[in-house]
A and B are shown apart, each in its own frame.
Chain A
Amino acid sequence: MVLSSRRTVSVRRLFDACFCYSLAMWWRFATMHNNVNIDFFGGLVAAITCEVQEYYEDKMRLPRGLLWGAVWVASGGAFASDAASLNDLEERLYRLEQDATSTSPSDNWTDRVSINGFVTYGLTRHNVHEKQGAGIFPNPEQGKPFYYLDTLSDEVSHRELSRVGLQFDVKVNDRTSAVVQILGQAIDNYDAEVQWAFVDYELLPGLHWRGGRLVLPTFMHSQYLNVGYAYHWAALPSEVYGTVPFDTFDGMDLTWSVNTGPLSHELSAFYGGVDLEDGDPPVTVDYELRNYMGANLRSSWGSLNSWLSYTESTFTADFASLGLPSASLDKEVLASGSIGLGYDNGSFMLMAERSYYDSDNWIPDRWGGYVSTGYRFGKWMPHLTWGATNSTGLGEVLEEGDPAKVFLAQQSMVRSKSWTYGLRYDLAPGVDVKLEAQTFYDMSTSSYRQEGANLNGMFTSSVSAGEIDTDDPTVYRLSVDAVF
């Protein structure tokens, strides 16, 4: 793909400071929220955490808190039989929990803010130990390895999958809330970018309006594509999730949650735009997507769930900076959508999705799809996925013969099929380890009428780098995901 998913949006710099600050805040909260887990020894631990909590309001209290904690621990055996102490404890426990659940806006801002996060550490490499050659045009990357999806090479990398996200939910009042989610990816040196930043207003019971920066609901798993713990793969199937290089938009959405008997639905519509800068300075391209709109329906019925989506926008990009002015795009219409189905009864899982991406000018149309199944044996879940994707709809551009358009079109053509063999292990609640191998085949688009189409699927295009000889090109991934 010419359009890389890596972005260099300058706005990010703004949030760097914010990100560091939020890490520090998270640490504070991780300590404070431990009081959620107090159990049988409730009063005991509660007393201690309560003091620790108060410490943050008044630092001088910590030594006293610890002293109290020690006293409480020391007298631990005594108060099981002491009714007065027990009542006192219950009262304390109640007050503590009451503090943390109060719905009415209170003076204590910590009552209204909740912080959640996700983190993934991953290792990747592929087995194509060849070097890029020269293609039809001179190749500035000649001698470098072939890259899968622009960055993944045959060397072990700690950067492809590793990422961290932090989310702040603030309850403004009974009907209004604000959410900010910051994402840092190793591949971007953890430069923090805002994925979600919106205000949510409940217009009517079950009807929510949100405005700000939102993640695009292009496909079934798009809105949580960075939360590795939320799905069974180490990486979402690239046949579908590698097709659209944008993941956020600025605008609004309207979501209606409705239940009809045992079925529950979420119907959502959105409207907005996307601006992004791609490439490395000084050669950058500005992409502008306007009237970005769409609708989707997510339904569930017991173990079954379904997804249906449609998205449309106009696309403008100036390729003069790349020396390809004739390939510039002016308000080309892009449309995409997908249909997905899932079944998960707690042990057996089956999931399938079919997507399409239609566009004008030299950008190939593309469809993608996958079928995935797995079975949970306690904490272990082996799974198997078949995926396929193909580019179509370029006949006119290729016949027309504008060299810049032909080059970009052939470079962007992708045909690929793959088998993914994976294993997921639940290390602890909220933590998993995943191992997976994805083997690609049938990557040639030479069935096109014109010579010189991409033969390397989602690896570096043969148009610029020559064809891969390796049998069974395979991508290996190992990841650890956590949510907190």
Chain B
Amino acid sequence: MMNNSMLKWMAALIFALPMQVFAEVVVVVSMDSPVTGLSESQLRQLYLEGSGRVDGISVRALDLPEGAKVREDFYQKAVGKTPAQMKGYWARMIFTGRGAPPRMVSGNRAMQVMLDNNPEMVGYLPANQVGDKLKVLRTLD
């Protein structure tokens, strides 16, 4: 039989497990955004160009910080590229004047706030971080 302190330790361990490791990545916009859907290729294009048009609506992409696990997952699933490949890709794009990367926000919380206040922006978050002010356009798994 487990004693009290063991139970406490187990509880602590469970809470300490990083939840987003298990969470799916979702593509989100503000509830006010006129964008209602995003195809796989539209999403890939948007993140390879930094901004673009979805069904005639001008949109801009947002990124989580470099090194964020969610960002790595997102790029692998949405664009099929590793962080190193993306870094090289943007070096080629920027210095040939062919584009600018998505703007980077500071974290999940900043992503929520930015999307909530800017209906023309598109971002991604772990599924458990969406909140009730954003709507999900796609689930990546």
- Residues of chain A at the chain B interface (Cβ within 8 Å): 36-40, 42, 46, 90, 93-94, 97-98, 100-101, 103, 114, 116, 118, 165, 167, 169, 179, 181, 196, 198, 200, 205, 210, 215, 223-224, 226-227, 229-231, 255, 257, 259, 261-262, 264, 266, 302-303, 344, 346-347, 376, 426, 429-430, 483
Contact = CB atoms under 8 A, between A and B. Distances in A.
Nearest to B106: A38
B106 A42 contact: yes
A118 B90 CA distance: 12
A212 to B, nearest CB: 10
B83 A429 contact: yes
Nearest to B75: A346
A424 to B, nearest CB: 10
B106 A37 contact: yes
A210 B97 contact: yes
B103 A429 contact: no
B82 interface: yes
A335 B81 CA distance: 36
Interface string B91-123: 110111110100111110110011001100000
Contacts of A181: 95, 97
A483 B48 CA distance: 18
Interface residues of B, number: 36
B85 interface: yes
Nearest to B63: A36
Q: Is the interface of A mostly helix, strand, loop or mixed?
A: mixed
Nearest to A174: B58
B12 interface: no
A454 B95 CA distance: 37
Given A94-B114, A303-B80, A483-B95, 6 more contacts: A40-B107, A103-B60, A169-B94, A181-B97, A229-B87, A261-B41
Nearest to A346: B82
A264 B53 CA distance: 15
A226 B49 CA distance: 22
Contacts of A266: 98
Given A39-B107, A196-B97, A229-B88, A98 B117 contact: yes
A226 B91 CA distance: 11
B67 A224 contact: no
A97 B114 contact: yes
Contacts of A264: 45, 48
8 contacts: A39-B65, A42-B107, A42-B110, A116-B94, A210-B97, A255-B98, A261-B41, A429-B87
A430 B49 CA distance: 19
Nearest to A46: B106
